[in-house]
Amino acid sequence: DAGVIQSPRHEVTEMGQEVTLRCKPISGHNSLFWYRQTMMRGLELLIYFNNNVPIDDSGMPEDRFSAKMPNASFSTLKIQPSEPRDSAVYFCASTWGVGSYEQYFGPGTRLTVT
Amino acid sequence: GENVEQHPSTLSVQEGDSAVIKCTYSDSASNYFPWYKQELGKGPQLIIDIRSNVGEKKDQRIAVTLNKTAKHFSLHITETQPEDSAVYFCAVYNTGTASKLTFGTGTRLQVTL
């Protein structure tokens, strides 16, 4: 199994630009999670999908952040416009069933906004 | 909401020694407690988990103990090796409410030769 795939692995952009992060969950998994990791705040859940439907988006920090899951094998996290404080590592994780059991994390996307 | 505290934040041990990382939580209804290992430049990886009907679980050199009354659980690594060097996160989950997984703040373990 290829595991959770994220792209790009690194992204450097200027403040105000749109950023799109991509995730392919493990085949057969029907729950997908987007996390943000920073030194100050640790691992934060941003949004959680089950069967392609957003279940909990209470962690999405602002309207500048949006996430979609058009099908079972693809999800995007978009930041528009980006700000320097959005700099972090963004992880996608997936699992089967409803809930947070045994989440499998991708390698992450390191985002730097200058 | 759930509050998870993890100690210590950094831990340095000599190869072959044991390492213990402790976590406490606030919601007595929480019933699933996984531990994740994060190596540099990688995502967290589940290494062991325990459910509330079990007091201890062991997998080779790693073990987790749970004290539901005191609301704390611990990760034990015996015979540490350099490849055990990483950041370890505990997490807490309530399967009844299907709430989000709440992570501890992490422990950076350094195994020295």
pLDDT digits (tens, 9 = 90+) for A51-92: 999 988 989 988 999 999 999 999 999 999 999 999 999 999
Give the nearest chain A residue to B39 (CA atoms). Answer: A107
8 Å CB contact of B89 and A108: no
CB pairs under 8 A between A and B: 45
Minimal Cβ distance to A99: which of B36, B95, B104: B95
Across B14-38, average pLDDT: 95
As a whole number of angstroms, the distance between CA A96 and CA B2 comes to: 23
Across A88-102, average pLDDT: 86
pLDDT digits (tens, 9 = 90+) for A4-55: 999 999 999 999 999 999 999 999 999 999 999 998 888 999 999 999 999 8
Residues of A in contact with B100 (CB under 8 A): 45, 48, 56, 59, 100
Residue B20 to residues B26, B60, B74, B80, B85, Cα–Cα distance (Å): 20, 15, 7, 11, 13
Give the nearest chain A residue to B101 (CA atoms). Answer: A100
As a whole number of angstroms, the distance between CA A60 and CA A58 comes to: 6
Angle at B16 between CA B111 and CA B19, to 5 degrees: 60
